[in-house]
């Protein structure tokens, strides 16, 4: 296939490189980032999008996505797939899909989980929203860039799944960290705490696969001085998207709101930017109730 790839940052560059390595003809565009090996460089966003069978975007936020989509949808070939893999607000995903569909394109919102490591290894999970036909066009590309793709429903459903998943992740990571901090103060050994909880009803991905306590459980960013991993500011971005969606859908999400507030304080006032999101444990362990 002829594929245009817009947004060649930490995630987009390895995803585009994997598509090229699989034999597709990939043309990339980014405002600043270099084009990865195997990917041709376009001078403008329109040059990257025109005449392609599929265009994939991997951009920072919904505002930028809407602006890029505004520039390219009218230039794309009718019947082509417009696949946005960025994490954005549900509303932006729907607005972009509507504009693309009105011009005869097949739109899919397909945010990912798996991080930079998953992008490089081609093991991402895609959560997709759009018509059956649009998903069918995108699926072979998801198979190259990832190991699993779930068709979640109509436009916006992929973004909805992503932010609900990451709201749970933020909340469970905070719960796991504060339980470790409490266990410390109760004199409970962290390894014993892990041995019990990881096989009891308090288990979760945060505890079992990404344990925030150094030296305990499988290797995780905690064992690497909390170098991300999944940076606290990216968790904050996703939590804020969850609360934006909750407000527009009139959903009561008190735990999600509290997790958002805690990560905002950590990132914006306590030097948490650039640290893994599991660094909430060292933040909490030094504190008392005051």
Contact set with ligand NAD (CB under 6 A): 6-12, 29-33, 45, 58-60, 64, 68, 86-87, 112, 115-116, 230, 234, 237
Count Cβ atoms below 10 Å from residue 113 Cβ, excluding itself: 18
Q: Nearest approach, Cβ of 235 to ligand NAD (angstroms)?
A: 10
Nearest residue to 18 (alpha-carbon basis) of 117, 133, 106, 158: 117
Q: Which is nearer to ligand NAD, 115 or 153 (CB)?
A: 115
Q: Which is nearer to ligand NAD, 32 or 186 (CB)?
A: 32
Which residue sits closest to ligand NAD, CB atoms considered?
9
Q: Nearest approach, Cβ of 189 to ligand NAD (angstroms)?
A: 32
Catalytic residue among 162, 185, 227, 237: 162
**Apex 184 CA angle, 180 and 186, nearest 5:** 115
Q: Nearest approach, Cβ of 186 to ligand NAD (angstroms)?
A: 34
Annotation marks residue 227 as catalytic = no
Q: Which is nearer to ligand NAD, 19 or 112 (CB)?
A: 112
Q: Which is nearer to ligand NAD, 50 or 68 (CB)?
A: 68
What is the spatial distance between Cα 290 and Cα 87, in angstroms, rounded to a whole number?
Answer: 37
Q: Nearest approach, Cβ of 8 to ligand NAD (angstroms)?
A: 6
Do residues 276 and 229 make contact, with C-beta atoms less than 8 angstroms apart?
A: yes
Q: Which is nearer to ligand NAD, 7 or 212 (CB)?
A: 7
Q: Which residue has the tokens 């950590």?
A: 266
Q: Nearest approach, Cβ of 156 to ligand NAD (angstroms)?
A: 15
| DSSP H stretches of helix in the chain | 12-21, 45-49, 62-72, 90-102, 115-121, 132-145, 157-185, 190-197, 205-208, 232-249, 254-269, 280-285
Q: Which residue has the tokens 């470790």?
A: 180
- DSSP secondary structure, 195-262, as one string: HHHTTSTT--HHHHTS-SSTTSSS--GGGGTT--SSBHHHHHHHHHHHHHHHHHHT---HHHHHHHHH
Residues tagged active-site:
162
């Amino acid at each position: 296939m002829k594929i245009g790839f817009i947004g060649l940052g930490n995630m987009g560059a390895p995803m585009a490189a994997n598509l090229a390595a699989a034999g597709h003809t990939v043309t990339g565009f980014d405002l600043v980032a270099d084009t990865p090996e195997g990917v041709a460089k376009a001078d403008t966003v329109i040059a990257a999008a025109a005449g392609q069978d599929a265009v994939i975007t991997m951009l920072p936020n919904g505002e930028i996505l809407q602006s890029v989509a505004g520039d390219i949808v009218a230039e794309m070939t009718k019947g082509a797939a417009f696949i946005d893999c960025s994490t954005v607000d549900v509303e932006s995903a729907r607005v972009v899909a509507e504009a693309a569909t009105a011009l005869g394109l097949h739109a899919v919102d397909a945010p990912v989980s798996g991080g930079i490591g998953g992008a490089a290894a081609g093991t991402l999970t895609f959560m997709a929203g759009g018509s059956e036909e649009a998903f069918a066009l995108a699926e072979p590309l998801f198979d190259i860039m990832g190991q699993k793709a779930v068709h979640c429903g109509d436009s916006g459903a992929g973004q909805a799944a992503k932010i609900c998943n990451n709201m749970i992740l933020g909340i469970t990571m905070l719960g796991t960290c504060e339980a470790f901090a409490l266990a410390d103060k109760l004199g409970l050994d962290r390894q014993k705490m892990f041995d019990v909880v990881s096989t009891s009803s308090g288990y979760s991905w945060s505890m079992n696969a990404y344990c925030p306590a150094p030296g305990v459980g499988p290797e995780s960013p905690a064992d690497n001085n909390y170098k991300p991993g999944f940076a606290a500011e990216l968790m904050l971005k996703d939590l804020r998207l969850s609360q934006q969606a909750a407000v527009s859908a009139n959903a009561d999400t008190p735990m999600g709101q509290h997790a958002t507030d805690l990560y905002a304080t950590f990132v914006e006032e306590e030097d948490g930017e650039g640290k893994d999101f599991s660094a909430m444990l060292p933040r909490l362990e030094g504190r008392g109730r005051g």
